[in-house]
Amino acid sequence: MDSNTQKTRIGIIGTGHVGTTLAELWVHAGYHVMVSSRSLSEAQSLATSLGPLATAGTPAQAAAYGDIVVLAVPYGAIPQLGPQLSRTLLDKIVLDPSNPYPWRDGPIAETAQKDGAGVTTQRYFPSAHVVRAFNSIDMTTLRSEAHRAFPLLAVPVAGDDAGAVAQVEALVRAAGFEPVVTGNLATAKLFQPGSTGFELEQDAAGLKQTLHLSQ
């Protein structure tokens, strides 16, 4: 366990497939994680299964706990969470792995598809440093491909704040993948649903070539 895992605390909002998978990967890497859900009993059950590095709380408690807070929720929940948690998330890193689907999430998803999910999420958390990552590859694949033999599976990352992006890159590496920074939040549109980089299972060199990024 390195010093980064000992210092960085992760709060995860949502205990579905996304939240559970990411919590498992980071606990395995030695991070302290608080999982949260609308159902505290579900969060407590997950935390118990994850072991002593995991605790459970409410979404508000997870937002307060984490140095990095993960929005592992349906994209349609973003407009509600923004007003509830924006003050708590002042100057914190908000990692957004959620994807907008109009059939499920309604008008906010249509906006995110047009403007980009990263830029849209940032509007609801204006005082936080939003970073997009872990949204472009199915969680079942991430679980099975973590720490695979070289070359590692690439995970695209986008954000406006260089320091926040660097910390999320560290989480990507800890989970067993190779981060590929595409640029600012606007470039997260490259790997959201309907875009070239969505659901690509490539190594870093292949992903950079596909997305026309500099090597």
CA 145 – CA 155 distance, rounded (Å): 11
pLDDT score at 214: 82
Average pLDDT value over all residues in the chain: 96
Q: Which domains does the chain have, with CATH numbers?
A: 3-210 (3.40.50.720)
Greater confidence (4 vs 128) lies with 128
CA 73 – CA 34 distance, rounded (Å): 15
pLDDT at 18 over 90: yes
The region of weakest confidence among 4-13, 18-27, 102-111 is 4-13
Name the region of 78 (left: φ>0; alpha: ψ -120 to 50; beta: rest): alpha
pLDDT score at 215: 64
Tokens of 38: 């609308």
> Tens of pLDDT along 30-85?
999 999 999 999 999 999 999 999 999 999 999 999 999 999 999 999 999 999 99
- How confident is residue 7, by pLDDT bands cut at 50, 70 and 90? confident
pLDDT score at 136: 98
pLDDT at 2 over 80: no
pLDDT at 211 over 70: yes
Strand ranges for the chain from DSSP E: 9-13, 32-36, 54-57, 68-71, 93-96, 129-133, 154-159, 178-183
Strand ranges for 82-205 from DSSP E: 93-96, 129-133, 154-159, 178-183
107-115 and 117-124 helices, crossing angle to 10° = 120
pTM score, whole prediction: 0.96
> Mean of the pLDDT values across residues 6-14?
92
> Mean of the pLDDT values across residues 88-106?
98
> Tens of pLDDT along 110-149?
999 999 999 999 999 999 999 999 999 999 999 999 999 9
> Mean of the pLDDT values across residues 106-113?
97
